[in-house]
């Protein structure tokens, strides 16, 4: 079945460091890909998305490119801030009844001042 | 717009007690979902409803029942709570189409003693 694998955390960085969180997927067909972010005590919220190969999603300085040849959707940010500390989830959306979403296990990011 | 709302925010039950978690959305979305989030396991789908009047099992349905009361509301019931059901529960909804992301409620933190 479809699945999402993302790097284990926690990831600890200093402010202004470069961030990469790796995400790979297995899927039949052509899923949509998403990154969600969860701040402490809150539900998940969409960070960015991409719907086809070579699409680049971007938001708040984060970006990720849909790579079909490597089945990857790595999240990057050039300069992280303390306020980026959160848990990040990679996800894919299946085109089956109800458009179920498959989530990775999540990667916790800590950014130190 | 309130988005997705959930009640209660916190609940403590004794083993064997029953309760219903409520969820409502005001975005006119067709699809609604119930997830549980446990440390290190990401989000696991319990049940989903692709449209009003339909419900389907997800990855971990045992011990739960759901009701899609109308287009807005989707409730999750624990008939006889067990300690293994201690978790954070999230409700989500989604509009039609491959492009659409899920919108999450703030979660219910449930402890079963």
Residue B40: the pLDDT is 74
According to DSSP, the β-strands at A11-14 and A107-112 are: parallel
**A99 φψ region: left (φ > 0), alpha (ψ -120 to 50), beta (else):** left
Among B43, B53, B59, B103, the strongest candidate for a mutation testing the A interface, having the largest count of A CBs within 10 A, is B43
Token pair of A3 as six digits = 């699945």
Chain A residue with Cα closest to B38: A105
CB A103 within 8 A of CB A4: yes
Query: Which tens digits make up the pLDDT trace of A71-110?
Result: 999 999 999 999 999 999 999 987 665 567 889 999 999 9
B100 vs A82, which has greater pLDDT?
A82
Nearest to A90 by CA among A64, A68, A111: A64
Mean pLDDT of the A44-51 span: 94
A-B contacts at Cβ under 8 angstroms:
59
* pLDDT band, very low/low/confident/very high, at B99 (cuts 50, 70, 90): low
Has residue A27 got a pLDDT over 80? yes
Mean pLDDT of the A67-71 span: 94
CA–CA dist A70, A104 (Å, integer): 17
Phi, psi dihedral angles at B35 (to 5 degrees): -125, 160
Query: Which tens digits make up the pLDDT trace of B35-86?
Result: 999 987 789 999 999 889 899 999 999 999 999 989 999 999 999 999 999 9
- Nearest Cβ partner of A98 from B40, B50, B105? B50
Alpha-carbon gap: B50 to the closest alpha carbon of chain A (Å): 4
**B100–A99 C-beta distance less than 8 A:** yes
Q: How far apart are the first and last CA of chain B?
A: 36
CA–CA dist B35, A36 (Å, integer): 15
Query: Which tens digits make up the pLDDT trace of B12-25?
Result: 999 999 999 999 99
CB A93 within 8 A of CB A32: yes
Chain B residue with Cα closest to A34: B101
Has residue B10 got a pLDDT over 90? yes
**B43–A44 C-beta distance less than 8 A:** yes
CA–CA dist A110, A43 (Å, integer): 18
Phi, psi dihedral angles at B85 (to 5 degrees): -95, 5
Residue B3: the pLDDT is 92
The mean-pLDDT minimum among A6-15, A51-60, A95-104 falls in A95-104
Residue A94: the pLDDT is 75
């Amino acid at each position: 079945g479809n699945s999402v694998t993302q790097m284990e955390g926690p990831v600890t960085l200093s402010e202004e460091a470069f961030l990469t969180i790796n995400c790979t997927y297995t899927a039949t067909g052509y899923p949509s890909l998403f990154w969600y972010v969860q701040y402490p005590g809150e539900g998940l919220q969409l960070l960015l998305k991409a719907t086809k190969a070579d699409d680049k999603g971007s938001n708040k300085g984060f970006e990720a490119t849909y790579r079909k040849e490597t089945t990857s959707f790595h999240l990057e940010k050039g300069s992280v801030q303390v306020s980026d500390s959160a848990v990040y989830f990679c996800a894919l959306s299946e085109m089956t009844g109800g458009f179920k979403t498959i989530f990775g296990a999540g990667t916790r990011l800590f950014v130190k001042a | 717009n309130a988005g997705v709302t959930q009640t209660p925010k916190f609940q403590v039950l004794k083993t064997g007690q029953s309760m219903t978690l409520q969820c409502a959305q005001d975005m006119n979305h067709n699809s609604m979902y119930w997830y549980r989030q446990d440390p290190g396991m990401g989000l696991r789908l319990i049940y989903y409803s692709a449209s009003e009047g339909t419900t389907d099992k997800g990855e971990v349905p045992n011990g739960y029942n759901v009701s899609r009361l109308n287009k807005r509301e989707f409730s999750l019931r624990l008939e006889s709570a067990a300690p293994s059901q201690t978790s954070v529960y999230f409700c989500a909804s989604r509009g039609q189409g491959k492009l659409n992301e899920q919108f999450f409620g703030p979660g219910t933190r449930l402890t079963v003693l």
